[in-house]
Amino acid sequence: MSLVFDQVSYRYPGTTQGLHAVSFDVAAGELVAVIGPSGSGKSTLLKLVAGLETGHEGRIVLGGQDMAGTPVHQRGIGMVFQSYALFPHLSVLDNVAYGLTLRKVAAAERRRRALELLEVVGLASHAQRAVTQLSGGQQQRVALARALAIDPRALLLDEPLSALDASVRG
């Protein structure tokens, strides 16, 4: 899935700070890392693609489709937030299955897919635990599994490896 930022500008509400005429292309299947100091707009770029921030100038095109006016739930984006954004009242399994629940996937298929992804991230044995009982690295892996569960068109990762130790990162 290709991604194009074409002269994208964004100002944080009440300031003159933000992104200024950002342009770049990401080819389908390409892995891109955006690096910069804190406050340089890396997370904002991701939120703009996902539709979580609006009011930008310029064009954001995903898979040939201009995202202007496309609601968050129709973009097909999986996102792992820097803060994980897990639901503390849900089990690990239910956190992973959450997006599938919203998409009205049958319960048996939700469970199968969530368990499959928990196996991939090495947390199948933790499926029934509360996410609050997990370490930071484990919570981050739950967030990754949740983002992958919906089979996203694009996967956006906001510092996805920051809480993982070296062996798990590999």
| Residue-range domains of the chain with CATH | 3-75 (3.40.50.300), 92-151+161-169 (no CATH)
pLDDT on residue 83: 81
Contact 127, 145 (CB under 8 A): no
Structure tokens belonging to residue 3? 């991604």
pLDDT on residue 163: 64
pTM as predicted: 0.83
Sheet holding 3-11, edge to edge: 18-26, 3-11, 57-62, 65-66
Tell me the average confidence (pLDDT) per consecutive run of 10 residues in the chain, 170 residues long: 94 88 94 88 92 92 93 90 89 96 95 97 96 91 94 88 67
Q: Rounded CA gap, 75 and 51, in Å?
A: 8
pLDDT on residue 164: 63
Q: Rounded CA gap, 146 and 36, in Å?
A: 27
